[in-house]
Amino acid sequence: MLVKLNRHQNKQFKHSIFLIDLDNTLHNASAFILPEINRQMTCYMANTLNLDLAQASKLRHEYWTKYGATLLGMIKHHNTDPKHFLDHTHQFDSFKHICIKQSYIASHLKKLKGLKIILTNAPRVYAEKIIRRLGLLPLIDGLISIEDMVIRGQLRPKPSLWLWPQLQRSLKKKKLILIDDTLGHLHSAARFGYQVVWVNRPDAHPRPLLRKGKVNLRLKCISQA
């Protein structure tokens, strides 16, 4: 896995590197976007696996729970082409009315002293559109999407235990800070010495209770960072 930075490639940073999740961390994706992605994934699985919608929805949730990403289950059990899956499950004509730009997010990202890299299990095309819609492109130093998380020939997205040491090697930093809304991702990264910040948005779906000692900081919004 190669991490490409948008800018400052040759600059030596003295501050931290922030790895920032996208959906439900920088914006509320639970209201419209994630339910629609789940619907598209369910339809995709129903069509390709010859299942009814109820069966496909159950299997989608099982794969997400077991592997951390529905796509990984589809690859493992059905030899699904990752690009075909991602292209057909993140289709949106426009994000104008379903992804709300909040100016305070940008102002607080500016205050984070260090490199800011988006780390998302979403596909690159989708992630870039969301970042542009949020007006955050000038503030982001890099993007690591799910297509970039290939290690030894296999896809290893969050919360894979292969991902975190590879990121440490690629970014040449021993101290990294992960900001994410998913506890499983945070707990996995913490095993490798990452500082982890849990964004538990009140406007997103309910999250599991915080387990003591696994998270360095708990926020209701990234603006509290």
Same domain? For 80 and 106 the reply is no
pLDDT tens for each residue of 129-184: 999 999 999 999 999 999 999 999 999 999 999 999 999 999 987 689 999 999 99
Same domain? For 84 and 138 the reply is no
Neighbouring residues of 92: CB distance < 8 A, sequence distance ≥ 6: 33, 36, 98, 126, 129
- Count of structural domains, the chain: 2
Strand, helix or coil for residue 116:
strand
Same domain? For 78 and 24 the reply is no
Give the CATH number for residue 220. Answer: 3.40.50.1000
In this prediction, residues 186-191 reach a mean pLDDT of: 94
Sign, Cα dihedral of 96, 97, 102, 105 = negative
pLDDT tens for each residue of 49-85: 999 999 999 999 999 999 989 999 999 999 999 999 9
Residue 101: per-residue pLDDT: 78
Residue 208, pLDDT above cutoff 50? no
Alpha carbon of 111 to those of 35, 85, 116, 139, 191: distances in Å?
A: 32, 37, 11, 10, 27
Residue 125: per-residue pLDDT: 95
Residue 173: per-residue pLDDT: 73
| Residue of 199 and 38 predicted with greater confidence | 38
pLDDT tens for each residue of 92-124: 999 988 888 777 888 889 888 899 999 999 999
For 131-135, 184-188, 211-215, which range has the lowest pLDDT when averaged over its residues?
A: 211-215
Residue pair 61/69 in contact (Cβ under 8 Å)? The answer is no
Residue 192: per-residue pLDDT: 94
Residue 222, pLDDT above cutoff 80? no
Give the CATH number for residue 49. Answer: 1.10.150.450
Q: Note whether residue 7 is domain-resident.
A: no
Whole domain around residue 74: which residue ranges? 33-89
pTM: 0.86
Residue 178: per-residue pLDDT: 96
Residue 28, pLDDT above cutoff 80? yes
Same domain? For 81 and 178 the reply is no
Same domain? For 110 and 202 the reply is yes
Q: Note whether residue 83 is domain-resident.
A: yes
How far is Cα 176 from Cα 115, in angstroms, rounded to an integer? 10
Q: Which of 70, 89, 108 is the last residue of a domain?
A: 89
Residue 102: per-residue pLDDT: 79
Angle at which helix 70-78 crosses helix 33-49, to 10 degrees, equals 10
Residue 8, pLDDT above cutoff 60? no
